[in-house]
Structure 1
Amino acid sequence: MTKKPENVIVGVSIGDLNGIGSEVILKTFQDNRMLDFCTPVIFGNVKILSFIKKALGINCSVFGIDSMDQLVHGKLNVLNVWKEGVNIEFGKNDEEVGKYAIQSFTTAVAALKEKHIDVLVTAPINKYNIQSDDFKFPGHTDYLDKELEGDALMLMVQDNLRVGLLTDHIPVNEVSKHLTEDLIRTKILTVNKSLKQDFRINKPKIAVLGVNPHSGDNGVIGHEDDAVVKPALKQLFEEGVLVFGPFSADSFFGTGQYENYDAVIAAYHDQGLIPFKTLSFGKGVNYTAGLDGIRTSPDHGTAYEIAGKGTADHNSFKEAVYLAIDVFKHREEYTIMNKNPLKTKEKQL
C-alpha cells in the first residue's frame, strides 16, 4: 500500500544558519498547503528557528519535538538535534555554525537510513566551514555516497530538463585524469536506471556532451572523446541503452537539442551547470541519483550577501521538496510494478 501524500515524511537539514537556508525553508512551509503534500521535520532547534522567523518577519508556526515519536502530521515539526543556543550572524562565515550544519545533516541522514523519514531535502552548506576531523567530505553528495548504498550522481532537474555529470567537484585540470570507460559506463547506467525508476520514463534517451571543444574534432583538439567516450557509448548502445553522442557542448543547449533527450550528461561541473542554471530560472533542483535513499536540494548556495535581508527566493527549495515527494511516489510505483509475485510466494512458503 502506498503512503498518502500528507504522510510522506520530508526530513530537512538546516544548512548554514548564517546563510539563506532557514529563510527559504520557512518561506516554503509558510504556505500551509504544503502540509497537504507532506509532513516536514526540520533537523535543528526550535528556539533558533523561532528567532530567525521573527527576525525575518516570516509568519510561520513551528512545532518543537524531541524525538521522531512525537512527530505530528499537519504541522511544521522541528526536531531538537541540540539544546544550546547558537550565535547567529547573518552573512558571516563561521566554523561554529558549520558544526551545527553538519550535526543537522548527519542526524538527518541517519534518520533516512533508519526509515524515520522518507526523503531528505538539504539546505545549503558552506563547504569550507564544515570541514573537521569528523567530517572530511567536499559536500553533501560525497557523504551520502559513503552512507547510502549505490553510486551517487549529481542530477540537476527542472521539469523535463535533466543534466547529470561524469565528474563534479574536481578541478578542471583533473577532469581528463578521472574520465575512464568504466566511469562513463557507471554514470550512464546510473542515470538510465534513475530515469526509469525515479522519473517513470520507460525508454529513456540520454545525450552525452564531448569533453573537448567540438568533441575533439577527430583528435585535433584532444583525444579523450575518440579514445574514451565514443567506445564507452558504443558498447552501452549495443547493450540496449539509448545513449547518443558525444555532442559538441558549445551549441547543444543553444540550438535546443537538449529537448530531444530525457537527460544530458556533461563531462564536468561548469559544462553542465552553466547552461542548466541559465535555463532553469531559479527553479532548478539538485537530485542525488543512484542511491537507495532520496535526497534533493536547491540549486543555490548559502548566499551570504543577501542572508538576513528577507529577500531570498524560495522557489528552488520548494521545487526540491516537490521533486523529493514525486521520486518517492515513483519509486513506490516502480517497486510494485516490478515485484515478482512468484518470489513473494516463495518467501511466504
Structure 2
Amino acid sequence: MQENDKIKVGISIGDLNGIGCEVVLKTFEDGRMLDFCTPVIFASNKTISFHKNALNLEINYHGIQEAKLALGGKINVVNVWKEIPEITFGKSTKDAGKYAILSLKAAVSALKKNEVDVLVTAPINKDNIQSEEFKFPGHTDYLASELEGESLMFMVTDSLKVGLLTDHVAIKDVASAISPRLIRNKISIIEKSLMMDFGIRKPRIALLGLNPHSGDNGVIGKEDDEVFKPVVREKTDIGHLVYGPYSADSFFGSQAYQNFDAVLAAYHDQGLIPFKTLSFGNGVNFTAGLNKVRTSPDHGTAYEIAGKGIADHGSFREAVFTALNIYKNRMEYLELTKDPLKKQRAKF
C-alpha cells in the first residue's frame, strides 16, 4: 500500500487540560503506527508543541491548514486555531471546553467531506463543553445529529461487546424512555453492526432486563414482561437469535456473556460497569449505526493524572486499531453486498 493510500484517521484532541493529547501523542510516538494509517490531528502546531514539551515526548509532526493536505508517513496536525490556549493540567475550564469543541467540529467536518476516513475522539468533559453552540450530553448525541443513520453506543473488545438501549439518560427517566420501538431499533442496529463491522454472519444477542431479576414475573416491575419479552418473541419468531431478558446481576459474573456475540443493556451503568470491570484499558467506545466510523477510548479526561506523563495510552491505541478494522470490514461488506456472488466465487 502506498503511503497516501493508507486509511486517514481524523483525531479530535479532547479537553486540553486532560490526558487527551498525551494518549494521542504517546500512541503515535511509536513510529510503527504510521505503517497502519495516516493520523490527522485537529488542534494547532503550538498546542501540540506545548504538550510534547510538557510531557517530554519524542515526536515530530507536520503542520497543515486543511485535512486534505495530509501526507502519508507523517503525523499531520491541522491548524484549527491560531491563538495559544491557556492550558492548566487537571482543571476544568471553559476555554478547554471551547477548544475541545472546535477540534471536534473541524474533525467531523473533514469526516463528512471524506478528507479523513474514520474519526477517533479523545475524551471531553461533558460539563465544560456546554454552550449556545453545543448542547449535547456527549460525543454520541452530537455525532448522531451530524451524520446519517441511527446511533448506538457500543462498547467493544475482541471478546466482549455491550450496546446500550439508553445511554446518557438519568436513571429516573430510563423506564419511560424504553419502548418496543426503541428495543427493535437498537436490536436492528446492533445486528447490522455485528455483521457489517465485525464480520459475524448470524449474530447472537442477549438482552438484559430493566428491573432486578427481570421483574420476577411482574413482582418487581412489569416492563420486562410487557415491553421486553414481546419484542424478543417477535424477533425469534422471524429467525433472529435474540434472547432474554436476562437478570443483569448475575449475567456477567456467571460468564453467560461468553455465549453471545453482543449484549444489549437497558441503561448506561448496567452495561458499562461490567464492561469496564472486565476490559478497562483495552475497551473501545464505538458509535455504531452511523454512515461513518467513530471510536474513542473507554476512559475520561482523567484530570487527576493530567500533565504527569503517566497516562496509559492502551485504550486510545485500541480505538485506532478498532476504527481501522471496522473501516476495512465495512468496505469489504459493502463490496460483497454489491456483488453477492463475489463471496461465493472467493471460496474457489
Fold similarity call, TM over 0.5: yes
Alignment of 1:233-272 (within 5 A): 233-272=232-271
Alignment of 1:282-293 (within 5 A): 282-293=281-292
Q: Would you say the 8 A contact 1:6–1:36 is kept in 2?
A: no
Q: How many residues align?
A: 341
Aligned residue for 2:338, secondary structure, equals: coil
Match of residue 145 from structure 1: 144
* 1-structure distance, mates of 2:145, 2:238: 29
Q: Which amino acid aligns with 2:228?
A: V
Aligned residue for 1:225, secondary structure, equals: helix
CA separation of 1:322/1:216 partners in 2, compared to 1, >3 Å: closer, same or farther?
same
Alignment of 1:220-235 (within 5 A): 220-235=219-234
* 2-structure distance, mates of 1:271, 1:80: 40
Match of residue 209 from structure 1: 208
Residues 301-332 of structure 1: per-residue CA shift (max 9 Å, x gap): 00101100001010000000000000000001
Match of residue 172 from structure 1: 171
TM-score (norm 2): 0.96
* 2-structure distance, mates of 1:240, 1:336: 25
Q: Would you say the 8 A contact 1:192–1:241 is kept in 2?
A: no
Q: Would you say the 8 A contact 2:152–2:289 is kept in 1?
A: yes
Match of residue 347 from structure 1: none
* 2-structure distance, mates of 1:221, 1:69: 56
Match of residue 345 from structure 2: none
Which runs of 5 or more structure 2 residues have no equivalent in the other structure?
342-348
CA separation of 1:301/1:341 partners in 2, compared to 1, >3 Å: closer, same or farther?
closer
- Cα RMSD over matched residues? 1.5
* 1-structure distance, mates of 2:200, 2:340: 23
* 1-structure distance, mates of 2:237, 2:259: 20
Match of residue 346 from structure 1: none
Q: Would you say the 8 A contact 1:5–1:38 is kept in 2?
A: no
Q: Would you say the 8 A contact 1:5–1:36 is kept in 2?
A: no
Cα distance, 1:336 vs structure 2: 1.0
Aligned residue for 2:74, secondary structure, equals: coil
* 2-structure distance, mates of 1:107, 1:157: 26
Cα distance, 1:5 vs structure 2: 9.8
Question: Is 1:94 aligned to 2:93, yes or no?
Answer: yes
* 2-structure distance, mates of 1:232, 1:40: 42
Aligned sequence identity (%) = 62
Q: Would you say the 8 A contact 2:40–2:77 is kept in 1?
A: yes
Cα distance, 1:173 vs structure 2: 1.0
* 1-structure distance, mates of 2:201, 2:161: 16
Match of residue 182 from structure 2: 183
Q: Would you say the 8 A contact 2:94–2:129 is kept in 1?
A: yes
Q: Which amino acid aligns with 1:66?
A: Q
| Structure 1 stretches of at least 4 aligned residues deviating more than 6 Å after TM superposition | 2-6
CA separation of 1:57/1:34 partners in 2, compared to 1, >3 Å: closer, same or farther?
same
Cα distance, 1:340 vs structure 2: 4.1
Match of residue 328 from structure 1: 327
Cα distance, 1:67 vs structure 2: 1.6
Q: Which amino acid aligns with 2:315?
A: S
CA separation of 1:3/1:158 partners in 2, compared to 1, >3 Å: closer, same or farther?
farther
* 1-structure distance, mates of 2:221, 2:340: 51
Match of residue 55 from structure 2: 56
* 2-structure distance, mates of 1:213, 1:298: 30
Alignment of 1:11-160 (within 5 A): 11-160=10-159
Cα distance, 1:217 vs structure 2: 0.5
Q: Would you say the 8 A contact 1:285–1:320 is kept in 2?
A: yes
* 2-structure distance, mates of 1:198, 1:341: 17
Aligned residue for 2:59, secondary structure, equals: coil
Cα distance, 1:160 vs structure 2: 2.1
